Structure 1
Amino acid sequence: MYKTECPYCNLLADPEQQIIFENATCAYIQKPSEQQVLEGSGLIVPKRHVQDVFSLTAEEWNDTRELLLKTKTFLEERHGHDGYSVGWNTGKTGGQSIPHAHLHVIPRFLDEPHAGKGIRHWIKQQDNRRNS
């Protein structure tokens, strides 16, 4: 399936978007403008338009894993980072702003202001408690 209005179905429509590498079903992409705050960050996206991580095929899962390991090597050769945040946002409430599955791969550095704060840090704050 292909969606003409989906930026991840049209990776080359954005002249800034860079496909770093790809395999049969997925691509690892980076945008230079996003490197100023999230140095080395990028996304692994399936080539097929698929709304969320739960809709990936077994082949897309395997190809995502293959690119994740290749991305790790790529990033370790270029950045002196100290860890990673890796994750999927799914659905609007889960923080997904583009309805095409994409895996965030974000190198983390000891000298960044939020070092040591993982993916769950922001959602487990007391001010995020539900009113039930």
Structure 2
Amino acid sequence: MGCIFCEILDGKRDGHLLYEDKSHISFLDKYPIDVGHSLIIPREHHERIIDMDSEDVGKIFSLVPKIANAILKATGADAFSLGQNNGRAAKQIIPHVHIHIIPRYNSKGSVWTKRQISNDDELVELSKNIRSFIV
């Protein structure tokens, strides 16, 4: 079985793209914990963050403020959580390094496992809105 994230990078799967540069992309999570839940991934395939050199780890995490700020502005979220899992025992579902940015809303609480899945039209609009805030 291939890597789902590599398939998004290769254009074989759809992804609601938020940001891209020569080394990374960011897109909406297909099974979000809450509205605006997004991922940042490196273009180069690494299964775990310990497989990357420290400079590349720094580069991927340096994108968090830019993308998180855009998500907060676009969604009206009050805060956000970060997640980064490594290996099956840590609940890493896709074996390609990724950082979760999960918007949090005071009115909703922060139940980690409750997921509200948007339809494709909602995701298209949301990704477009978030992109407009990335500077």
Higher helix share: 2
Which consecutive unaligned segments of at least 5 residues does structure 1 have?
119-132
Runs of 4+ in 1 over 3 A off after TM superposition: none
Q: 1:42 aligns with which of 38, 42, 46?
A: 38
Matched residue, 1:130: none
After superposing the two structures, state which structure 1 stretch, 87-96 or 65-74, moved more: 65-74
How many angstroms apart in 2 are the aligned matches of 1:29 and 1:104?
10
Q: TM-score under structure 2 normalisation?
A: 0.71
Higher radius of gyration, 1 or 2:
1
Q: 2:5 aligns with which of 4, 8, 22?
A: 8
Distance change >3 Å, CA 23–CA 60, structure 1 → 2? farther
- Larger relative CO (CA 8 A, sep 6+): 1 or 2? 2
Which consecutive unaligned segments of at least 5 residues does structure 2 have?
113-135
How many angstroms apart in 2 are the aligned matches of 1:52 and 1:19?
22
Q: Which amino acid aligns with 1:94?
A: A
Report deviation, 1:41. 0.6
How many angstroms apart in 1 are the aligned matches of 2:24 and 2:55?
10
After superposing the two structures, state which structure 1 stretch, 38-47 or 52-61, moved more: 52-61
Q: Number of matched residues?
A: 111
How many angstroms apart in 1 are the aligned matches of 2:48 and 2:21?
19
Q: Which amino acid aligns with 2:71?
A: L
Q: TM-score under structure 1 normalisation?
A: 0.72
